């Protein structure tokens, strides 16, 4: 049925085109314009140039103004303020150029439409003018480059010493995060050790891995530098959190990183947006297969206290997966029990017996 | 003539003999295995149009998904088969296949082969005054490699595991591992084979264009008298020759990684429950290689369109192109710079941030020659006497689109801003305006302008006007709103946006964009009708319908093999003597063709031309 509708529609369009064509031809022949080089259509086209300019400028201007709050999303990171600033400076500069050049383009097209009495002006060259419009853009661009690069350096420079390190792993089609635990160090990993449970391929011959924990959600503290260490397991993914203006590819075989400081807790953001259900989300920004559009992880920005509290509550991965204790070299077993807190648990168990 | 060196003079003589050969064409040699550049150009054009329809249709399907996610797509099952799920939805993997094939087809088959292939072939010999390309046989091969490439690509659309679906760039590991996405099985193999064939085609063509422009110019056709079209085709060919081999290398290494267990791009991968043996490869290496072609490629697509536009705008505003030398200079600048900006596609790929610094610098420099071109177009229109042919309209449209899309490049080129914008709809808006639409408009301008030469008949200009306005309004309605969606952070290559709060808005705008896309697509039927109808039934073309100065209009209305029945005319001036002061006193209207000697125009000669005449006399 639907196919029929489409077929009929297509037929209708075709017939319409043919009809319009016939009419054009006949009118042309009657008016004798069919062989003329300049027809009344010239005026129409010229006029439409101006109409087009005015209509599109007003619609886009109107939309940009009225929907401003919808398409600009709040900033929730320190560097985000800088890059957004650059964005709007660039918008200002290019906006002016956009309007001037488009107005001239359509304006000239209208104003200098064919006129028997006004021959064109033979004007092949003007060295000064050309120098002018080479040098001025060059200067403007130089200014944009300089401000851009200084921001780029701040964003991509080394993370501060005290940064909270969190590992993010992308795989088809989800994210996992790993925290270094109390020792502040992420344990080694090896992709050959990956299995259905040990998704990071944590290497338990490394003692710093014992207390690493892998929560369901990504928590980060507000107003404290955070450094993401980013990995991918299968294909390239890309870490993207829009409100943080944060994006970095996750590449198999090549760890990447991104450091930033969040400036608004989830709670604050909920209040600001007046949306009690608001959540920061981590999205995938690099085509990675079937589930690309659904690779989401919730991100929670906590106040300092909440964050520490949350962290303290997290159990190490090893303590949740005790069967992996067998992978630990004999001499480190003792340490593993201590670091994961399993020794006290074991004691408690013994005592209760 | 100071510029008429003996070598080219001899060459003119030489070719004059050719005409005494009789050409007995049968169907096969005339339409299929033709070595005539004009026929090959038309073959490229018609094939390009075919691919444009396919590529456009693919985009219609995914736009339906994006704009109307709840729509029941059961009705396309007859075409797509099991790619429509039992629930009547588009399969998410096939969505990726669609965007991948759309991108590949549009960039390579339509805007490279269909544009550059058509007009380089068609116009180079006609505008420089040559009988044919340097090697007609290689030229024929070039088309047939392209055709073969197309066949392979087309077949890949119909295989069970689907065509390549890792994005038009096909980054490994996604493109290397069939476990990762089913399109990376046989579909990707066919993609690679098709691209390899395409590269061969492109190289055969480009070498021919370069050789022809260098060697076969007619007497007096100095480099400084070449129409800007030829300059643009020439530089495009140079870019192609230098960059396409790198894509071939990238593809070869990928073939090895896929089939022979090498690890150029693969390292430390765990997929489908097993750890792959490859270590030490780098996915980033592929990205560098791909974009080393990928960025120049966008100029391969755009430069011919700019060349065509220069020609059309100058002719129809009845004014010389403003700053002819600056136009060449800026194209040269773009050519050179286009090779050193590729990594701006990789600011957040994980490459060393220091590279980001360098590539930001180089990228923003390329905006300068682009700006110069725009200003020169404006200056050409200024105080012109503009005749709005459909070609003029499309050229003016191109300039507008080039401005709109070029300016957003300045955001993206700035690495710090690109962090947020990379791979969002902002990028989609950028390149569809500046490359997709602008080059498409250049293609259209070229077809409308040279149709009379190609087929000896005129297209209906009124249908052309309607086609232009609907298309112009259409592409702005499709691509302008994408800026908002992109600023809001919507990532590209998303099958649907419902999984994220952050991307849950703008469903109305997405629906609008899809509706506009369908509208624009349907409007192209007007062109198709006009094109094929006029080919057989159009009004007969006069010899020089646009009162143009260039050489192709001195050939017979329907030029045969060898282009000029007699000797090839010599050239005495640049192609832009429009509305020259005092031309009327020499008995000319507002144009003086390139073939008119300076001695016939004593009144309108400029001081430097008078000097030239003096020199000749002294000799
Ligand atoms: C004014 C000068 C231009 C600058 C500074 C510029 C800059 C950029 C940058 C930085 C990107 C990468 C964005 C990203 O992926 O995050 C980009 C993408 C792109 N640009 Fe431009 N551009 C300019 C002009 C052009 C022109 C003239 C064309 C084509 C004719 C073009 C075609 C493209 C294409 C096709 C892409 C996207 C490729 C993809 O991701 O699929 N750009 N541009
Ligand atoms: Cu993804
Ligand atoms: Cu580029």
A349 pLDDT above the threshold of 60? no
Q: How far is CA B34 from each of CA A113, B56, B139, rounded to the nearest angstrom?
A: 42, 29, 9
B597 assigned to some structural domain: no
Given this model, what pLDDT does residue A29 score?
77
Beta strands per DSSP E along A251-332: 256-261, 280-284, 297-302
**What pLDDT score does A351 carry?**
54
pTM to 2 decimals?
A: 0.94
CA distance B120 to chain A (A): 26
| pLDDT reading at A352 higher than 70 | no
- Run of H or E residues at B176: none
B187-203 pLDDT, tens digit per residue, is 999 999 999 999 999 99
**The pair of three-digit structure tokens given for residue B294, joined into one six-digit string:** 């990928």
Residue A79 CA: distances (Å) to CA of A152, A262, B175, B415, B419: 9, 9, 34, 13, 11
pLDDT of residue B613: 86
Q: Does any domain span residue B352? A: yes
Every domain of chain A and the residues it spans: 41-114+128-156, 164-352
Which tens digit of pLDDT belongs to each residue from A331-345?
888 888 887 777 765
Q: Whose CA is nearest to atom 32 of ligand 1?
A: B431
| Chain A residues within 8 A of B460 when measuring between CB atoms | 21, 24-25
CA triplet A283, A288, A290: central angle to 5 degrees? 95
Q: Which of B320, B131, B67, B411 is nearest to A148 (CA)?
A: B411
CATH code where residue B397 lies: 1.20.210.10
Distance CA(B365)–CA(B568), nearest Å, equals: 42
Cα A318 to middle of ligand 2, angstroms: 29
Do B321 and B314 touch, CB atoms closer than 8 A?
yes
* C-alpha distances out from residue B370 to A134, B119, B242, B311, B499, Å: 10, 22, 21, 17, 40
Residue B476 lies in a domain: yes
**Can you tell me which atom of ligand 1 is nearest the CA of B421?**
16
Q: Kindly indicate the confidence band of residue A346, based on its pLDDT and cuts at 50, 70 and 90.
A: low
Q: Tell me which of B301, B331, B344, B374 to substitute to probe ligand 1's pocket, judged by most ligand atoms within 8 Å of the beta carbon.
A: B344
Q: Is there a contact between A185 and A171 (Cβ–Cβ < 8 Å)?
A: no
Distance from residue A30's CA to the centre of ligand 3 (Å): 52
Between helices A127-156 and B353-381, what is the axis angle to 10°?
A: 160
* Residue whose CA lies nearest to ligand 1 atom number 21: B409
Q: Are B369 and B330 in contact (CB under 8 A)?
A: yes
d(CA A320, CA A24): 79
* Pairs across A and B, CB distance < 8 A: 363
- Write out B518-580 in H/E/C secondary structure: HHHHHHHHHHHHHHHHHHHHCCECCCCCCCCCCHHHHCCCCCCCCCCCCCCCCCCCCCCCECC
Find the closest chain A residue to B170 by CA distance.
A287
Residues of A in contact with B424 (CB under 8 A): 285
For residue B95, the SS3 value is helix
Report which of B127, B121, B550, B130 is spatially closest to residue B321, judged by C-alpha positions.
B550
**Interaxial angle between packed helices B507-537 and B438-455, expressed in degrees from 0 to 180 and rounded to the nearest 10:** 10
Residue nearest to atom 16 of ligand 1 (CA): B422
The confidence score (pLDDT) of residue A348 equals 55
Tell me which residues of chain B have a pLDDT lower than 50: 1-22
Q: What tokens were used for A212?
A: 């690493």
What topology does CATH give the domain A164-352? Answer: Immunoglobulin-like (2.60.40)
H/E segment holding residue B83:
none
Within an 8 Å CB–CB cutoff, is residue B362 touching chain A?
no
List all residues 6 or more positions away from B136 whose beta carbon is below 8 Å from its beta carbon: B35, B36, B37
* Structure confidence at residue A27 (pLDDT): 80
Ligand 3 ion: residues within 5 Å (CB):
B 295
- What's the confidence (pLDDT) of residue A23? 83
* Local structure of B5: helix, strand or coil: coil
Inform me whether the C-beta atom of residue B267 falls under 8 Å from chain A C-beta atoms: yes
What is the predicted pLDDT for the residue at A339? Answer: 79
**B contact residues 480-539, partner A, Cβ 8 Å cutoff:** 480-481, 484-485, 487-489, 491, 493-497, 499-503, 505-506, 522, 525-526, 529-530, 533, 539
Which of B167, B357, B365 has the CB atom closest to A287's CB atom? B167
ipTM score here?
0.94
Integer Cα distance of A197 and B615 in angstroms: 88
Contact residues, A window 77-136, toward B, CB-based 8 Å cutoff: 80, 82-84, 86-87, 90-91, 93-94, 97-98, 101-102, 104-106, 108-109, 112-115, 118-126, 129-130, 133-134
**Longest Cα–Cα distance in chain A:** 110
* A148 touches B: beta carbon within 8 Å: yes
Tokens of A293: 């559009």
Asked if residue B261 belongs to a domain, the reply is yes
Ligand closest to the CA atom of residue A239: 2
Residue A152 Cα, gap to closest chain B Cα (Å): 5
**Cis link prior to B280 (omega < 30° from 0)?**
no
* Whether B204 contacts B141, CB under 8 Å: yes
Say what the pLDDT of residue A311 is: 93
Give residue B342 CA to ligand 1 midpoint distance, Å.
Answer: 9
Segment 19-58 of chain A within 8 Å of chain B by CB: 20-21, 24-25, 28, 34-35, 37-39, 41-42, 44-46, 48-49, 52, 56
Chain A environment of B381 (Cβ under 8 Å): 105, 108-109, 112
Q: What is the pLDDT of residue A330?
A: 86
- Res B503: pLDDT: 93
CB contact under 8 A, B414 and A114: no
Tokens of B536: 């057989």
Residues in contact with ligand 1 (CB, 6 Å cut-off): B 298, 301-302, 344-345, 363-364, 366-367, 370, 406, 409-410, 412-413, 418, 421-423, 427, 430-431, 434-435
The Å distance, Cα A219 to ligand 2 centre, comes to 21
Domain for residue B104, yes or no? yes
Q: How confident is the model over A242-249, as a mean pLDDT?
A: 96
Distance CA B221, CA B416 (A): 47
Contact A138 B368 (CB under 8 A): yes
How many independent structural domains does chain B possess? 1
Structure tokens at B484: 């908002």
Of chain B, the end-to-end C-alpha distance in Å amounts to 9
Distance from CA of A170 to the nearest CA of B (A): 11
> A251, B284: Cβ pair inside 8 Å?
yes
Crossing angle of the two packed helices B92-104 and B37-67, in degrees rounded to 10: 150
Mean pLDDT across the stretch A245-256? 96
* Domain span including residue B88: 33-266+279-537
Residue B232 located in a structural domain: yes
Helix/strand/coil (H/E/C) assignment for every residue in A175-214: EEEEECCCCCCCCCECHHHCCCCCCCCECCCCHHHCCCEC
Q: Which two tokens stand for residue B22?
A: 């009789």
- Residue numbers in B near A101 (CB within 8 A): 374-375, 378, 403
Nearest CA in chain A to B578: A122
Nearest residue in A to B374, CA atom: A101
Report the helix count and the strand count for chain A, using DSSP H and E. 10, 9
Provide the token pair at B185: 């099985």
The HSE-up count of residue B307 (CA atoms within 13 Å, CB side) is 30
Give the percent of chain A with pLDDT over 70: 95
Q: Are B266 and A253 in contact (CB under 8 A)?
A: yes
User: CB under 8 Å to B77, separation ≥6 — which residues?
Assistant: B84
| Residue of B270, B378, B385 with shortest CB distance to A105 | B378
């Amino acid at each position: 049925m639907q196919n029929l509708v489409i077929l009929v529609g297509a037929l209708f369009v075709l017939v319409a085109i043919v009809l319009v064509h016939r009419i054009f031809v006949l009118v042309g022949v009657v008016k004798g314009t069919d062989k003329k080089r300049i027809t009344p259509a010239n005026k129409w086209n010229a006029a439409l140039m101006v109409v087009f300019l005015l209509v599109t400028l007003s619609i886009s201007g109107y939309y940009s103004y009225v929907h401003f709050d919808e398409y600009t999303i709040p900033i929730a990171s320190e560097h985000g303020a800088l890059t957004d600033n650059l964005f709007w400076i660039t918008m200002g500069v290019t906006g002016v150029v956009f309007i001037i050049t488009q107005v001239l383009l359509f304006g000239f097209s209208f104003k200098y439409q064919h006129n028997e009495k006004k021959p064109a002006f033979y004007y092949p060259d003007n060295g000064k003018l050309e120098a002018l419009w080479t040098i001025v853009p060059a200067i403007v661009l130089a200014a944009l480059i300089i401000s851009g690069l200084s921001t780029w350096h701040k964003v991509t420079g080394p993370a501060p010493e005290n940064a909270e390190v969190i590992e993010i792993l992308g795989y088809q089609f989800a994210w996992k995060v790993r925290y270094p635990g109390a020792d502040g160090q992420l344990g080694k990993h090896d992709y050959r050790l990956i299995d259905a449970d040990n998704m990071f391929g944590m290497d338990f011959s490394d003692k710093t891995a014992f207390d690493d924990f892998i929560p369901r959600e990504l928590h980060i503290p507000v107003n404290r530098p955070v450094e993401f260490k980013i990995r991918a397991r299968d294909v390239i993914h890309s870490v993207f959190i829009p409100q943080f203006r944060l994006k970095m590819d996750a590449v198999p075989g090549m760890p990447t990183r991104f450091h930033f400081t969040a400036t608004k807790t989830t709670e604050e953001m909920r209040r600001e947006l007046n949306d009690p259900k608001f959540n920061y989300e981590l999205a995938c920004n690099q085509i990675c297969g079937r589930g690309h559009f659904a690779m989401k992880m919730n991100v929670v920005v906590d106040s300092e206290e909440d964050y520490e509290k949350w962290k303290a509550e997290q159990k190490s991965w090893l303590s949740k997966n005790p069967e992996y204790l067998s992978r630990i070299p004999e001499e480190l077993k003792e340490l593993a029990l201590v670091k994961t807190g399993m020794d006290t648990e074991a004691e408690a168990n013994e005592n209760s017996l | 003539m100071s510029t008429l060196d003996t070598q080219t003079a001899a060459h003119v003589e030489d070719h004059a003999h050719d005409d005494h050969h009789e050409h007995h064409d049968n169907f096969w040699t005339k339409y299929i295995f033709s070595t005539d550049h004009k026929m090959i150009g038309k073959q490229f054009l018609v094939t390009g149009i075919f691919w444009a329809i396919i590529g456009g249709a693919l985009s219609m399907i995914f736009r339906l998904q994006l704009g109307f996610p709840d729509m029941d797509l059961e009705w396309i099952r007859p075409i797509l088969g099991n790619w429509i799920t039992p629930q009547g939805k588009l399969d998410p993997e096939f969505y990726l296949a669609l965007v991948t094939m759309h991108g590949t087809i549009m960039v390579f088959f339509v805007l490279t082969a269909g544009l550059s292939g058509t007009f380089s072939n068609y116009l180079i010999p006609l505008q420089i005054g040559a009988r044919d390309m340097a090697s007609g046989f290689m030229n024929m091969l070039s088309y047939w490699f392209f055709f073969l490439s197309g066949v392979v690509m087309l077949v890949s659309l119909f295989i069970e595991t689907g065509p390549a679906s890792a994005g038009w760039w096909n980054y490994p590991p996604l493109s290397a591992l069939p476990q990762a996405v089913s399109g990376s099985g046989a579909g990707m193999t066919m993609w690679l084979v098709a691209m390899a064939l395409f590269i061969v085609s492109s190289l055969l063509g480009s070498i021919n264009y370069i050789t022809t422009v260098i060697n076969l110019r007619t007497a007096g056709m100095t480099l400084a008298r070449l129409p800007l079209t030829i300059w643009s085709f020439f530089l495009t060919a140079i870019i192609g020759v230098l960059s396409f081999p790198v894509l071939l290398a990238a593809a070869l290494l990928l073939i090895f990684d896929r089939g022979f267990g090498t690890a150029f791009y693969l390292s430390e991968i765990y997929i489908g429950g097993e750890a792959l043996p490859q270590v030490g490869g780098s996915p980033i290496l592929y990205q560098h290689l791909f974009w080393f072609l990928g960025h120049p490629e966008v100029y391969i697509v755009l430069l011919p369109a700019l060349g065509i536009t220069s020609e059309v705008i100058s002719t129809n505003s009845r004014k010389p192109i403003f700053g002819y030398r600056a136009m060449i200079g800026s194209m040269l600048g773009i050519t050179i710079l286009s090779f050193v900006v590729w990594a701006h596609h990789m600011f957040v790929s994980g490459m060393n941030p220091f590279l980001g610094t360098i590539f930001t610098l180089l990228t923003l420099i390329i905006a300068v020659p682009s700006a110069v071109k725009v200003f020169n177009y404006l200056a050409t229109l200024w105080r012109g006497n503009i005749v709005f042919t459909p070609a003029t309209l499309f050229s003016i449209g191109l300039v507008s689109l080039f401005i709109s899309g070029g300016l957003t490049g300045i955001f993206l080129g700035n690495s710090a801003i690109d962090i947020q914008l990379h791979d969002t709809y902002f990028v989609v808006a950028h390149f569809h305006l500046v490359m997709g639409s602008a080059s498409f408009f250049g293609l259209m301008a070229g077809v409308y302008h040279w149709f009379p030469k190609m087929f000896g008949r005129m297209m209906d200009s009124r249908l052309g006007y309607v086609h232009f306005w609907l298309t112009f309004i259409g592409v702005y309605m499709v691509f302008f709103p994408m800026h908002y969606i992109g600023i809001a952070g919507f990532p590209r290559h998303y099958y649907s946006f419902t999984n994220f709060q952050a991307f849950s808005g703008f469903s109305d705008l997405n629906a609008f964009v899809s509706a506009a896309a369908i509208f624009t697509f349907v409007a192209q039927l007007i062109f198709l009708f006009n094109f094929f109808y006029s080919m057989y039934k159009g009004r007969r073309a006069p010899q020089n319908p646009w009162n143009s100065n260039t050489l192709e209009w001195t050939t017979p209305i329907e030029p045969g093999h060898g282009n000029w029945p007699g000797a090839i005319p010599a050239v005495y001036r640049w192609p832009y003597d429009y509305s020259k002061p005092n031309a009327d006193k020499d008995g000319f209207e507002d144009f003086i063709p390139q073939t008119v000697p300076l001695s016939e125009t004593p009144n309108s000669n400029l001081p430097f031309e008078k000097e030239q005449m003096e020199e000749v006399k002294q000799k």
